[in-house]
Every structure is written in structure tokens, then in C-alpha cells.
């Protein structure tokens, strides 16, 4: 008979991180991250922000995992891995251990059945890897778009999976819980990851899908200020049409999203989002055409569609696009009879 485990053990470490991924995950479901994970038999062996153990007690947990004395089902890393200076990793030392976080990750990753990068910093390098990257920050298995990272291109955990990249700055709490739940239930295979190691459950969608500004996008009725209700793509740098994620299909905390709040999508689930082609909140253009076009759309088609859409924009949509509230409501009239 196969051995049954009373729990799925997760060790969560924070490398070069602002802690925002944890802050996001804490709001998971209606009960918070810890209780949401408990529903699937997931036990946090240790988390630097949530666990009671500190100092020698915390280091003992890490030592036991690294030595194989405690079963490690999943290693979650939040934040970039700092390789500098000179490959030593000493830009980030784990307090009291005398060892760099880089070395701890290298020791623990082969012991874990699964390795999960929580957030785009751990996945691709993120903000710490922005030019000129003085700390030599890397993701676990990617450096920007390039495979490699701190664990190397060929790394596979004992389960046979590469690093699972729950990208985002910060990732949606649902992405974290659902990924860990899938792993705990033994229902996670390589075909559930895209080419960058992101779970396809969210990466097969775009942040554009379900956006509350889609009517304005269709008519290319664009906002001029963040407080405007119009589409944020043409002038304010929104990249939701290029950004993997179902952020607008399942709202954050059941309610809002970046674009709902008037903040343009910055494509934070993709490598190198931290070094865009132009300033954040401003659309980079060449000859008046946005540099970043919707995924899969040829430039000529976009130009033709935009011109046609603008010529057909209803006055209601045009007026509402440049206001922070509805000025002209939709027409109220009975439907035409066949």
C-alpha cells in the first residue's frame, strides 16, 4: 500500500523580496492564506513572516529539511536570488546561519519534491534585476527571458518538474493557493505549465480579458488622465492586451483590479517588466502607433481597426471616456421587433 502523508509540507523563504507576495497571498479566499492551504492538507513548516519560530529554532527547521530529516514536499521562494558579489551570494546572508540565501536555496531545492517561485522576482529576477543589476539578481530558473537562473536551465525537482513560476508583482493570491493545492493533490503535470514555467490556469488568459474598460478599448476611446474611465492603452501605458493573467476575470479580493482602480497594467507577470520600453503610465509610440500592440495582432490590422473603431465611436462612449463618472448613460429604448 502506498504511504499516505498527513500533510503536504511547505517551506517558504524570502530572498531579495519586498514581502509584497506574502502580503498578497495573505488575502487568499475568504479565510486567508494559512487556512485556505489547510483545506488541502498543506502545512507551512516555516514562513519568515508568519511562523513563531525564530533564531536557532528556525535554523533547525532549515537544517532538518536540507539534511532530509524532515520531508520537504515544496520549497517556495519569494524574491530574487542575489548572486553577487562575484558569485558569492554574500549580498544576502541568512541571519545567524553564516550562509548566503543563494547557498541555502541550492541546498534545499534538490530535497524538495517541488520548487515554486512566488512572484516575478523569484521567477525572472524582477525589480532587483533591473538595469544595472548591481547585485547580480536572478530568478530561480530564468534571468529575464533567458533560461538559466540560480538553479540552472536543466534543474528538475524530484517530481520531474522545473521551477513553477507563479509570476506577478504581486501574484494573485488565488494563483498561489491553487498551484500549491494542485501540487498537494498530486494533480500537476508538465503540460500545466507554459514555456516560461507559469501555471497555465492563469497564464493562458490575458489581463485584458474581462477588463471593465473593454467597451472603451473596442472603440479606441482613450483616457487622457488616470482618473478618466476610458481605455488606458493608447496614452497611459496599459499593457493588459499583452499581459498573461486572469486578473480581471477573478477580481482581487473579490472586488478590484489594477485597471479598475485607474492604474495601467504593467505586464508584471512577464520577464523584464521592470525595464519597459518607455516610462510607466506612458505609452511608447512610433509614428503615433503604440510600440506594444495586442498579442497576435499585426500592426497593419491594428491601425486599420483603430481608425474604423474611432470613426464609429458613439458620443456616449466618447464623452464618458474623458470623465471619472458616467456622463451619458446607455440609451433606454425597447428592442426592435423582427
Residues 171 and 297 in one domain: no
What pLDDT, on the 0 to 100 scale, is given for residue 5? 55
Nearest to 318 by CA among 236, 216, 234: 216
**Domain limit, last residue, from 145, 169, 203:** 203
Same domain flag for 104 and 252: no
Is the Cβ–Cβ distance between 271 and 144 less than 8 Å? yes
- Say how many C-beta atoms besides its own lie within 10 A of residue 315's C-beta: 8
pLDDT digits (tens, 9 = 90+) for 121-165: 999 999 999 989 999 999 999 999 999 999 999 999 999 999 999
Give residue-wise pLDDT tens across range 3-62: 455 799 999 999 999 999 999 999 898 899 999 999 999 999 999 999 999 999 999 999
Domain tally for the chain?
2
Return the CATH number at 187: 3.40.50.700
- Please tell me whether residues 143 and 233 are part of one structural domain: no
The domain of 225 spans 206-323
Q: Does any domain span residue 58?
A: yes
Flag whether 242 is in a domain. Answer: yes
3-state secondary structure 139-199: CCCEECCEECCCCCCCCCCCCCCCCEEECCCCCCHHHHHHHHHHHHCCCCCHHHECCCCCE
Identify whether residues 251 and 227 lie together within a single domain. yes
Torsion angle of the four alpha carbons 276, 282, 288, 293, in this order, in degrees rounded to the nearest 10? 50
- Note whether 215 and 197 are same-domain residues: no
**Where does the pLDDT of residue 310 fall: very low under 50, low under 70, confident under 90, or very high at 90 and above?**
confident
262 in Cβ contact with 227 (< 8 Å): yes
Same domain, 57 and 189: yes
Euclidean distance between CA atoms 237 and 169, whole angstroms: 17
Q: Which residue has the cell 517530481?
A: 159
Q: What DSSP letter does each residue of 14-54 carry, written as one string?
A: ESB--SHHHHHHTT-TTT-HHHHHHTTTEEEEE-TTT-S--
Same domain, 172 and 145: yes
Cis bond upstream, residue 16 (ω within 30): no
Of 203, 218, 242, the position where a domain reaches its end is: 203
Same domain, 158 and 254: no
Decide which of 153, 173, 203 is a domain's last residue. 203
Distance CA 64, CA 108 (A): 10
The mean of the pLDDT values for the chain is 93
Task: Convert the pLDDT of each residue in 72-104 to its tens digit.
Answer: 999 999 999 999 999 999 999 999 999 999 999
Q: Does the pLDDT of residue 335 top 80, yes or no?
A: no
- CATH code of 216's domain: 4.10.480.10
User: Of all helices (H) and strands (E), which one includes residue 76?
Assistant: strand 74-78
Cα 165 from chain centre = 8
Cell numbers placing 302: 491594428
Amino acid at each position: 500500500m502506498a504511504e499516505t502523508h498527513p500533510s503536504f509540507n511547505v517551506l517558504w523563504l524570502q530572498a531579495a523580496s519586498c514581502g509584497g507576495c506574502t502580503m498578497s497571498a495573505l488575502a487568499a479566499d475568504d479565510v486567508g492564506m494559512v487556512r485556505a492551504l489547510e483545506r488541502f492538507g498543506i502545512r507551512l513548516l516555516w514562513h519568515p513572516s508568519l511562523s513563531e519560530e525564530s533564531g536557532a529554532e528556525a535554523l533547525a527547521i532549515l537544517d532538518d529539511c536540507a539534511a532530509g530529516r524532515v520531508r520537504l514536499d515544496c520549497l517556495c521562494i519569494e524574491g530574487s536570488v542575489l548572486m553577487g558579489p562575484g558569485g558569492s551570494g554574500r549580498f544576502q546572508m541568512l541571519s545567524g546561519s553564516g550562509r548566503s540565501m543563494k547557498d541555502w536555496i541550492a541546498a534545499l531545492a534538490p530535497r524538495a519534491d517541488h520548487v515554486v517561485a512566488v512572484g516575478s522576482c523569484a521567477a525572472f529576477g524582477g525589480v532587483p534585476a533591473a538595469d544595472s543589476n548591481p547585485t547580480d539578481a536572478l530568478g530561480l530558473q530564468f534571468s529575464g527571458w533567458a533560461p538559466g537562473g540560480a538553479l540552472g536551465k536543466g534543474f528538475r525537482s524530484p517530481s520531474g518538474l522545473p521551477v513553477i513560476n507563479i509570476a506577478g508583482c504581486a501574484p494573485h493570491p488565488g494563483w498561489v493557493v491553487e498551484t500549491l493545492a494542485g501540487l498537494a493533490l498530486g494533480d500537476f503535470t508538465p503540460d500545466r505549465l507554459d514555456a516560461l514555467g507559469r501555471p497555465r490556469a492563469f497564464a493562458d488568459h490575458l489581463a485584458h480579458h474581462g477588463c471593465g474598460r473593454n467597451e472603451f478599448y473596442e472603440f479606441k476611446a482613450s483616457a487622457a488622465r488616470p482618473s478618466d474611465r476610458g481605455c488606458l492603452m493608447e496614452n497611459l501605458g496599459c499593457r493588459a492586451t499583452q499581459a498573461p493573467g486572469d486578473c480581471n476575470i477573478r477580481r482581487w479580493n473579490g472586488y478590484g483590479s489594477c485597471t479598475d482602480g485607474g492604474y495601467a497594467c504593467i505586464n508584471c507577470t512577464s520577464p523584464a517588466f521592470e525595464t519597459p520600453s518607455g516610462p510607466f503610465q506612458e505609452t511608447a509610440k512610433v509614428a503615433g502607433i503604440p510600440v506594444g500592440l495586442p498579442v497576435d495582432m499585426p500592426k497593419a490590422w491594428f491601425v486599420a481597426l483603430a481608425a474604423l473603431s474611432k470613426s464609429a465611436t458613439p458620443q456616449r462612449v466618447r464623452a464618458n471616456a474623458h470623465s471619472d463618472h458616467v456622463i451619458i448613460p446607455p440609451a433606454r429604448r425597447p428592442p426592435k421587433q423582427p
